[in-house]
Amino acid sequence: MNAIVTSMIANLYAEPNGTSELIDELLYGMPVQIMEELDDYWVRIQTTYQYEGYCRKVNLLLDNVKTSAWCLEASYVIRQSFADILQHPRIQSSKLMTLVRGSIVRYLQEEELDSEWAVIQLATGERGYLRKKWLSEKIADNSLSEQDFRENVVQTALSYLTTPYRWGGKSPLGIDCSGLCSMAYMLNGVLIFRDAKIIEGFPIKEIALDQMQKGDLLYFPGHVALYLGDSLYVHSSLDGNEVTINSLNEQHPLYRKDLATTITAVGSYFTD
């Protein structure tokens, strides 16, 4: 069975209980596959990027038909850190819910509004309104040049600067190291592995350190960062408690010796 995430953020746990490790967050509108129904409260799911864990049923719409239609028709994503979905196209309106960057909605293009507002449909069928500039079409088949794609990935990662560190997080409310890197790629149409390592079957491949360019990934023991160029990298740091920029250059004031001297691999989407 397939399902759609219907809460702003749905926690994905290592075990089917709310006190186990938070391993990922599912954002509104994301489709998932139900691998196993455990009871009236819990299901084991798999994400589109092949990550598995346990989620509460209350956060999901379990319906194969609606999920199939949603995957075809919900082709827009929230780009703003937070966006209120309003009941009417005016700022004084009450809200239906708040969504975070990366949430998926259906854009009802057939309805004409003034240039400021877009009308959208939620997975549960309600119609709402948000600022049109906060919405963009999902990138399904990237046709950008390599350099433009790299720059977009970098700018997406930088949009999370100062976001608090959250183990298992991947939203502007809180994000971890692999959450930051995977969202930077996901929002640019590429699904990479969710954890801080390179594995078979995903598009990031290992390259030599001296071949590294902006947008590539730096791997450390239990940690991953995104390279910005000029020896700088952005990462969600447990030590720094937020998304921050550091340097590989020991002469730079943002140098971190503990990371610069423990690089285990460099990964790139471009390996030709």
Q: Cα angle vertex 26, ends 117, 205, to 5°?
A: 105
Per-residue pLDDT at 17 exceeds 70: yes
β-partners of residue 55 are 43
Query: Do 65 and 89 fall into the same domain?
Result: no
| Count of Cβ atoms closer than 10 Å to residue 141 Cβ | 5
Please count the structural domains in the chain.
3
Q: Helices (H), strands (E): how many in the chain?
A: 4, 22
Catalytic center residues: 177, 223, 235
Among candidate residues 219, 222, 227, 157, the one with its CA nearest the CA of residue 188: 157
Q: 68-79 pLDDT, tens per residue?
A: 999 999 999 999
Q: Can you give the pLDDT at residue 122?
A: 97
49-60 average pLDDT score: 96
Q: 194-230 pLDDT, tens per residue?
A: 999 999 999 999 999 999 999 999 999 999 999 999 9
Host domain of residue 33: 2-73
Query: Do 234 and 200 fall into the same domain?
Result: yes
Query: Do 261 and 171 fall into the same domain?
Result: yes
Among candidate residues 48, 40, 36, the one with its CA nearest the CA of residue 4: 48
The full DSSP string for 26-86 is EETT-EEEEEEE-SSSEEEEEETTS-EEEEEGGGEEE-HHHHHHHHHH--EEE-SSEEEEE
Q: 86-113 pLDDT, tens per residue?
A: 999 999 999 999 999 999 999 997 556 6
Q: How far apart are CA 41 and CA 58, in angstroms?
A: 7
Domain end position, chosen among 73, 103, 126:
73
Q: Can you give the pLDDT at residue 141?
A: 67
Domain end position, chosen among 116, 137, 158:
137
Phi, psi of 80 (to 5 degrees): -70, 150
Domain end position, chosen among 137, 162, 188:
137
Per-residue pLDDT at 48 exceeds 80: yes
Query: Do 165 and 252 fall into the same domain?
Result: yes
pLDDT level of residue 160 (50, 70, 90 thresholds): very high
CB-count exposure of residue 261 (10 Å: 0-12, 13-18, 19+): exposed
Per-residue pLDDT at 35 exceeds 70: yes
Query: Do 122 and 188 fall into the same domain?
Result: no
Query: Do 45 and 111 fall into the same domain?
Result: no
